[in-house]
Structure 1
Amino acid sequence: MASLVIRTGRADLDFSGIRAEFGLPTEFPAAALAEAEQALSRAPGSREDATGLPFVTIDPPGAKDLDQAVLLERRPNGFRVHYAIADLGLFVVPDGALDAEVRRRGQTLYLPDGNVPLHPTVLSEGAASLLPGQTRPAVLWTFDCDRTGEPTDVRVRRAMVRSTAQLDYETVQRSFDAKNPHPSIEALADFGRLRRERAAERGAVELQLPEQEIVPNGDGDWKLVVRPRVDVDSWNAEISLLTGMSAAKIMLEAEVGVLRTLPDADDGAVDALKRSAHALGVPWPEGTTPARLLASLDPSRPESLALFVDATRLLRGAGYTAFDGEIPPVTTHAGVAAPYTHVTAPLRRLVDRFATEVCLAVTAGQEVPDWLRRALPLLPGLMGGSDTLASKVERACLDQVEAWVLADRVGQDFEAVVLRAENSGADVFVADPPVMGRCTGEDLPEGERIKVRLTEADPDRRKVAFTRVAD
């Protein structure tokens, strides 16, 4: 893992400027907080007792807003997967003060010095979070799947659950590498690989780009790192994707709900990607789909990084589509290669609570409530706005830390990979420290390693720039 510690020694090197620039809220309105406190004593009502199932959670170390808990069981004819999701429907009164504030926020925003939560922490990190050793209300999905990983039966209902352990990705990966995983997820590797194969068959697209993270160093400083991608990430993600695809199917059959949609890439985008692969020296066998090709690449190779960046052209135009009584013209998500919706992160994302309530009503044979039908057409705009804000805040934080990291290294040379060349310059990735920046100069070939010189690192403007150094 590449990293560089920022030895600040200065109290002003924080993210308050970004919070102010984007007008991020610092607290919840009093009425919303009062509703959250009142919800703590709300009875969970009649629901299935699933506290005997040994669920576990898998999240980043130290996480407190735990949306999902999982349990996998092997069966003679395949697998049974239990997936418990935090039940925010119990705690948020429709059209109340808390609901209004949550709609305004849209999603939790994560900054290095603390998040801006979607819900008050008494809920998101307390009564609604699937913390270990605590009995919690949940929406429980159960999938019976055959030997290929395809679901043959799907059930969703309200339940009480109890997580037995809070695990993190790297620890879980090490346990699988040592062939000693937690019993509750012993089948995760086999099931995850099957689901990955089904995804490739569908034509799902995954871009294995470097994931920059800003993390505390433990003594008041910050550290910029590239988070290593481990198999457990993708295996665990496949369970969330399975849930989202199953929820979308329920909604489409009932002709009411909200989907996460992305139109299929046109032939021009695929042809352009093939030209990029040829220019980068990446073989593209006849008949191979973009999904299969991208899945086969080694993400550590520079030409792979460049092709992943070029492949983002296949995933442009994502949004949310609400419908009620008529199936919309676009129902699929091209990246997933299937109809899909968000239902697995209601603590952190607004739309999940509403989509979940649709699924619960439909599968119980009940009418979708009027308050929910009124909310559906508003969700695409609310989520689109919050997605845009979250992206801007994340990029601003990374730009800020990159500028801090490199502020005293102007004039130094670095090894870089050219990701995308256009407009008399190129985007480049420097591995150590892990920085993405703009580079100027002649002859910037995509997918090749070059030497660059840092020409600017301005913390006030949050700008980093390089120029190519002649070999």
Structure 2
Amino acid sequence: MAIRPQQARPVPEPLVSALDALRRELGIPDDFPPDVHSAAIAAEAASRSHVGDDDAAERADRTDLDLVTIDPEGSRDLDQAVFVEPAGDGFTVWYAIADVAAFVTPGDPVDLEAHRRGQTLYAPHQRTPLHPPELSEDAASLLPEQVRPAVLWRLGLDTSGELTSTAVTRALVRSRAQLSYREVQESLDAGTAGPALELLRTVGLLRERLERQRGGVSLRIPEQEVVVEQEQWLVVHRSTLPVEGWNAQISLLTGIAAARLMLDAGVGLLRTLPPATESAIRTLRTTARALEIPWPAQTSYPEFVQGLDPEIGTHAAMLYTCTLLFRGAGYEAFDGAPPQQPEHSALATPYAHVTAPLRRLVDRYGSEVCLAVSAGRPVPDWVLTALPQLPAEMAASHRTASAYERGIVDMVEALTLALHVGDEFTATVVAVTDDAARGTIVIRDPAVEARLAVPGLPLGGTARVRLVAVDVSAGRSEFELVPGSATP
């Protein structure tokens, strides 16, 4: 599920009290304490007085790079700017990341509040940012035509897209433009994109191919997304644009480069996911047989997944079953011996979070480790002191973010359905419990996922369901099966 960053929107009346209650239940603050705002304003002023100065000998002036940001429309917290250029037979990827440490001092009010929050939370009517908006949406954000401090990655790739060199330094940069995914995709499709964006597509495609070759898996499941259209809140199913995948590959590339630096140095913080067990793969093969989806013995799990089409009911059910293998992601901090299991199994490689420091606490620390390692300096003590506690802090913030997003989606689903009690819908059965006593259904329009306590539902099949009750404040919608309508 996803909630897109948007400008502030009025909350539909039926959701006002329910959203307030959800935020209170999860302990989500409405604003920053006054001392945090004051510290952010002071940091912004101090930065303004130094930008363009010799305040840091290590901060090179790289405002010559033709960097651009590519984000959802309406975004203000711009973490990354990218520029891809040819280099001999290969490519150079320049990736500028907002340098939060230029504004936040360890132990200051902004830092302490960031540790309490862990990450930015999104809702259709507001953001709950990790850092005060004076920084996250202004002074530290890589807004267009603004000179900004950044952590600048220089990644060398060969002709196949393999990483051949990594360097990371502090720099001053200036983004040339703030682009949206849709306008970049449209310009690429129309052949009007500039050379750098064409190379972004080229590198993105190469990196996607390498991911498949090493056994990485990306599940192509249309995600539920809350959007606002003409002041109405809606839940839709949205498939990502190709450019979103190519842009994500640049972030993944940087995270892979960061993980290599950390592992070579014996210190850092990895994003990990345990490998799938043999029993889990056997379960998936059993499900594939039940759905009558061919899975030859010689075909690997990644190859099998790549051939699934989410628009086909049985394939959609198979993809939902595959999400079971993506549970258990977390962070592993180390200083000395690396983790016993350092890989992120969905990526089939070690990986670290370093590219979203405005929105995710852990990335600031990952960046500092990489900067120190790349420069041949000791990792700062304030980073080493914080590393052991970061996995637990991030796990707590992820639980809050998941509960918040799920709660909002459930409420908007119920609001969308409120006038349709008694109506019938066609649903796809995408999951069934082990005892076959109940299942999960997906309705395409409106985009609803719901549980159905009916024995014997046909996994991957269709069913007609009737909406029998809605509780908007509780985010609950209740369906029943229309007798005789379930078909394999």
Specify if TM > 0.5: yes
Pick from 161, 167, 191 the counterpart of residue 155 of structure 1: 167
Alignment-derived partner of residue 24 in structure 2: 20
Distance in 2 separating the partners of 1:415 and 1:207: 24
Q: Which residue of 2 aligns with 1:69?
A: 81
Contact 1:442–1:468 (8 Å) recurs in 2: no
Q: Which residue of 2 aligns with 1:32?
A: 36
TM-score (norm 2): 0.92
* 2: CA distance, partners of 1:111 / 1:49: 37
Equivalent residue for 2:383?
372
Q: 1:344-401, CA deviations, whole angstroms, 9 ceiling, x for partnerless residues? A: 0000000000010000011111111111110000100100000011000000000000
- Equivalent residues, number: 463
2:157 and 2:163 in contact (8 A); partners too: yes
Matched-pair contact (CA < 8 Å) for 1:80–1:144: yes
Deviations along 1:392-411, whole A, 9 cap, x unmatched? 00000000001111112111
For residues 205 and 291 of structure 2, the distance between their equivalents in structure 1, rounded to whole angstroms, comes to 29
Partner residue, 1:395: 406
**Per-residue CA shift, 1:137-157, capped at 9, x if unaligned?**
111111110111001111111
Deviation of 1:456 (Å): 2.3
Find the aligned partners of 1:23 and 1:459 in 2 and give their Cα distance.
21
Q: 2:194 aligns with which of 182, 195, 198?
A: 182
Q: Can you list the C-alpha shifts for 1:196-250, whole angstroms capped at 9, x where unaligned? A: 11111111121112211112223x3212222232111111111111100110110
For residues 355-366 of structure 1, what are the structure 2 equivalents within 5 Å? 355-366=366-377
Task: Tell me the residue number matched to 2:13.
Answer: 11
How does the TM-score come out when normalised to structure 1? 0.95
Partner of 1:418: 429
Percent of residue pairs identical: 46
Q: Deviations over 1:430-471 (max 9, x none)?
A: 000011111233431111222111122211321112222223
Residue by residue over 1:120-174, the C-alpha shift from the partner in whole angstroms, topping out at 9 and shown as x without a partner, is 0010000110111111111111111011100111111111111111111122112
Task: Spell out the pairing of 1:251-290 with structure 2 (5 A cutoff).
Answer: 251-290=262-301
Distance in 1 separating the partners of 2:130 and 2:200: 30
Match of 2:4 in 1: none
> Hey, what's the Cα distance between the residues in 2 that align with 1:379 and 1:251?
16
Equivalent pair of 1:70/1:81 in contact (CA under 8 Å): yes
Q: Compute the displacement of 1:9 (Å).
A: 10
Do the aligned partners of 2:118 and 2:130 also contact (CA within 8 Å) in 1? yes
The alignment partner of 1:110 has SS state of strand
**Partner of residue 225, structure 2:** 213
Larger mean Cα displacement after TM superposition, 116-125 or 281-290: 281-290
| Deviation of 1:296 (Å) | 2.0
User: Which of 461, 470, 477 is 1:448 aligned to?
Assistant: 461
Counterpart mapping for 1:72-471 below 5 A: 72-218=84-230, 220-422=231-433, 423=435, 424-469=437-482, 470-471=484-485
| Alpha-carbon distance, 1:12 to partner | 4.4
Q: Confirm or deny: 8 A CA contact 2:14 2:472 kept in the other structure.
A: no
Distance 1:199 1:9, change over 3 A: closer
Is 2:15–2:472's contact at 8 Å kept on the other side of the alignment? Answer: no
SS at match of 2:143: coil
Q: What per-residue deviation string (whole Å, max 9, x for no partner) do you get for residues 63-118 of structure 1?
A: 00000111111233111111111000101101212111000000000111101000
One-letter amino acid of the structure 2 residue matched with residue 288 of structure 1:
T
Distance in 2 separating the partners of 1:309 and 1:225: 17
Q: Give the letter for the 2:219 counterpart.
A: L
Contact 2:15 2:473 in 1 (8 A): no
Partner deviation per Cα, 1:176-210 (whole Å, 9 max, x = no partner): 22122233311122211111111111111211122
SS in 1 for 2:441: strand
Change (3 A) 1:124 1:288: same
How far, CA to CA, are the matches of 2:331 and 2:222 in structure 1? 26
2: CA distance, partners of 1:138 / 1:405:
43
CA distance in 1 between counterparts of 2:286 and 2:190 reads 42
Structure 2 gap ranges (5+)? 1-9
Asked whether the 8 Å contact 1:64–1:131 carries over to 2, the reply is yes
Instruction: Tell me what 2:7 maps to.
Output: none
* Matched residue SS, 1:241: helix
CA contact (8 A) 1:70 1:185 kept: no
Q: Which amino acid aligns with 2:152?
A: L
The residue type paired with residue 315 of structure 2 is S
1:38 is displaced (CA, Å) by: 1.2
- C-alpha contact (below 8 Å) 1:117/1:348 kept by paired residues: yes
